[in-house]
Structure formats: C-alpha cells, structure tokens
Amino acid sequence: MSTSKTGKHGSAKVHIVGIDIFTGKKYEENRTSSHTMDVPVIKSEDYQLVDIKDGFLSLMGDDLCVIEDIPVPDNEVGKELKEKWNSRGETENMIVTILSAMDERQALKVRTTSDK
C-alpha cells in the first residue's frame, strides 16, 4: 500500500496491491484515502482427514461433524495429500488445515500425527 500527496484535484490517493489467497492472482486498486474498504475475514481450521473419495476430502472437525464438500486441490498440496494418504501407516492420522474466506474453502497444508 502506498499513498500519494493531495493535489489540486482533491484528497490523497492510496494504491493498494493484494494477492488472492486461493489463486495467487494479483489485484490492484486506487482509492481516495478517506474511502473505506471491506476487509475479508480469513479463518484457518484443522480437520482430521477421514477419506478421499471422487476428488473430494472427507474431513472431521473437533465437533465430530464430517464435511465432504472440499475438493482435493490441483496443486502441490493436493499431490502431497494423495501421496501421504496412500502411504500412511495404521497408527497415523492426517490433519488438514483448511483456509476459508468469503464463502470459499481450500486445503492449505497437511501434516501427519501418530497415535501412541
């Protein structure tokens, strides 16, 4: 974010650059410094991976509710998910971190834990 000085045509301007957290696409916006901007609420939650079926993740939260509407991402995280799922051991649990904002959700990272 950068600001410019006030000039003969009004108030100071603000140049904002943002990166989409889901696609990586870059967005730029120029606004007056007195203009209000909406800020998205971004939430990160961990779920236990129960299954991968038909390209979708089956995830269980702390409340024991299962969600099955998040697709396996078509990126490095998706490849890692499939590899770890296919090579996991009997005592291993997979924890998937889901990033959500503005009615969108996506798997962000995966880690493996062991039952002892």
Q: Kindly report, residue by residue over 28-49, the tens digit of the pLDDT.
A: 988 888 888 888 899 999 999 9
Residue 77 C-beta-side C-alpha neighbours within 13 Å: 17
d(CA 81, CA 110): 7
pLDDT over 70, % of the chain: 91
Task: Check pLDDT > 70 for residue 14.
Answer: yes
d(CA 51, CA 68): 9
What single-letter DSSP state applies at residue 4?
Answer: -
Confidence of residue 2 (pLDDT cuts 50, 70, 90): low
pLDDT at 4: 63
CATH code for residues 43-114: 2.40.50.140
Residue 76 C-beta-side C-alpha neighbours within 13 Å: 1
Residue ranges of the domains in the chain? 2-32, 43-114
pLDDT at 116: 58
